[in-house]
Amino acid sequence: MPGYSIDRMCAGAMTAVTTLAGGIAFGAYDVAIAGGVEHMGHHPMGEGANPNPRFVAEKLVDISALSMGATAENLHDRFPNLTRERADAFAVASQAKLAKAYADGKIQPDLVPVATRSTALGWGLATKDEPPRPGSTVETLAGLRTPFRPHGRITAGNAAGLTDGATACLLAASDVAVELGLPSRMRLVGYGFAGVDPEVMGVGPIPSTEKALRATGLTIDDIGLFELNEAFAVQVLAFLDHFGVADDDPRVNQYGGAIAVGHPLASSGVRLMIQLARQFVDHPEVRYGLTAMCVGLGQGGSVIWENPQYSGARS
Amino acid sequence: MTATDSLVFPDEIVTQALVRYLDIPGLPGEFALITLDNGRDHTRPSTLGPAALSSLAAALDEIEAHVPRVTAIGVTGKTLRLCRRCRHQGDGADP
């Protein structure tokens, strides 16, 4: 059983999926496990980042590109219509949607309990996500500091928290899944990755989604459910504005997102997919769904999925 | 730990009984988990000296008084070994 690790910062798990899916499509594998793990307490962010020295010495990127919070402030600059008020409102909705998804039992079936240990508290068991703050309101968020810039717009409330996480999923060739009797929750239709200016890395999912749509011959109107990673509210809003989707469109992030649940970088891609798969079950009228995320230092990744439960007409 | 216990072995490396109340998927109510841990790494296994037994008794009393009543109680140790028969005291070599 061969294995390997890959690194694409925020899109680690997503890239594990697309890379292995490519291998399956090529006939190299029948069945593969793709996933990601991140301990954000150990991941150098901002001041602690230690990039390729050429980035700085040769001014390959703007210095703000190394601090994700600063890149999100840059996005607010670039799109003045994306106000802090809109970002905070989106963040509050994310918290509320995740709380509802937990109350409806949509999240728990896909969680694996993990033992935790603390010298001070003894052994524990993590059975649910710890970061959510379900009581958040626009009023409580409005009072938060903007650590990345004086009078800035990015706060702990409208950005994904630093949390630990791990995800995994099983990929199989269609004929192998049938042969082994594996229930299929989604079919990968196509994907795309794109590079963008590192100092506004948050726009990455826009060109990567356009690329994935081109590759699959679909348009944004074909997408019935969106799972957009919420590294920052502003970065999701930039995507929604570009494609003409409302901030509170019910197709978008039905279970909330990283603002509520956290963004352990390399694990988040598969979390988006797991949540989309569960939403597909509840929405047999939807044929296609999109998972997309921005990637630190200037990339976007997008994967388009087909709903096996789709009950409508096929062209 | 009471004053009397600490007098039995004044230099006992005390194994503490730490209590946590956990939600276990599929189990109704709360599960009380006691972790026996002397605060040292695996090279110094936990031991059950007089003060440790006192701590365990206090933990069980606490769980018994807990509202609502727990569904089950579990006892575990730190990594590798639950506990071991060896010197209770001091930092000297393990005999």
The arithmetic mean of pLDDT across residues A86-91, rounded, is 98
Among A5-14, A51-60, A66-75, B44-53, the range scoring the smallest mean pLDDT is A51-60
- pLDDT band for position B1 (50/70/90)? very low
Does the pLDDT at position A93 exceed 60? yes
Which residues is A115 bridged to in the sheet? A125
Contact check, Cβ <8 Å, A123/B76: yes
For residue A10, indicate whether it is catalytic: yes
pTM, full prediction: 0.90
Contact check, Cβ <8 Å, A119/B23: no
Please report the pLDDT score of residue B92 as a whole number: 56
Distance set, CA B46 to CA B15, B39, B78 (Å): 6, 8, 8
What are the tens digits of pLDDT across the range A125-175? 999 998 999 999 999 999 999 999 999 999 999 999 999 999 999 999 999
Q: Do residues A99 and A91 touch, judged by C-beta distance below 8 A?
A: no
CB contacts < 8 A, A to B, total: 34
b (16+ CB within 10 A) / e for A5-27:
eeebbbbbbbbbbbbbbeebeee
What are the tens digits of pLDDT across the range A279-292? 999 999 999 999 99
- The 3-class secondary structure across chain A, one letter per residue, is CCCCCCCCHHHHHHHHHHHHHHHHHCCCCCEEEEEEEECCCCCCCHHHCCCCHHHHHCCCCCHHHHCHHHHHHHHHHHCCCCCHHHHHHHHHHHHHHHHHHHHCCCCHHHCCCEEEEECCCEEEEECCCCCCCCCCCHHHHHCCCCCCCCCCCCCCCCECCCCCEEEEEEEECHHHHHHHCCCCCCEEEEEEEEECCHHHHHHCHHHHHHHHHHHHCCCHHHEEEEEECCCEHHHHHHHHHHHCCCCCCCCECCCCCHHHHCCCHHHHHHHHHHHHHHHHHHCCCCCEEEEEEEECCCEEEEEEEECCCCCCCCC
Does the pLDDT at position B95 exceed 60? no
What are the tens digits of pLDDT across the range B3-41? 555 567 888 888 999 999 999 988 999 999 999 998 888
Task: Tell me: cis bond preceding B68? Omega within 30 of 0 counts.
Answer: yes
d(CA B92, CA B95): 9
Please report the pLDDT score of residue A63 as a whole number: 81
Average pLDDT, rounded, for chain A:
95
For residue A169, indicate whether it is catalytic: no
Interchain contact A311–B (C-beta under 8 A): no
Chain B residues touching residue A122 (CB < 8 angstroms): 18-20, 33-35, 37
Contact check, Cβ <8 Å, A124/B20: yes
Q: Active site residue: A10, A76, A169, A283, which one?
A: A10
Contact check, Cβ <8 Å, A119/B20: no
What are the tens digits of pLDDT across the range B75-91? 999 888 777 766 656 65
What are the tens digits of pLDDT across the range A187-234? 999 999 999 999 999 999 999 999 999 999 999 999 999 999 999 999
Please report the pLDDT score of residue A103 as a whole number: 97
Give the whole-number percent of chain A exceeding pLDDT 90. 87
Contact check, Cβ <8 Å, A122/B34: yes
List the single residue in A with minimal CA-CA distance to B21.
Answer: A124
Does the pLDDT at position A53 exceed 90? no
Contact check, Cβ <8 Å, B20/A127: no
For residue A39, indicate whether it is catalytic: no
Q: Which amino acid, B58?
A: A
- pLDDT band for position B71 (50/70/90)? very high
Q: Active site residue: A76, A169, A283, A294, which one?
A: A294
Interchain contact A314–B (C-beta under 8 A): no
For residue A21, how far is the Cα from the chain centroid?
18
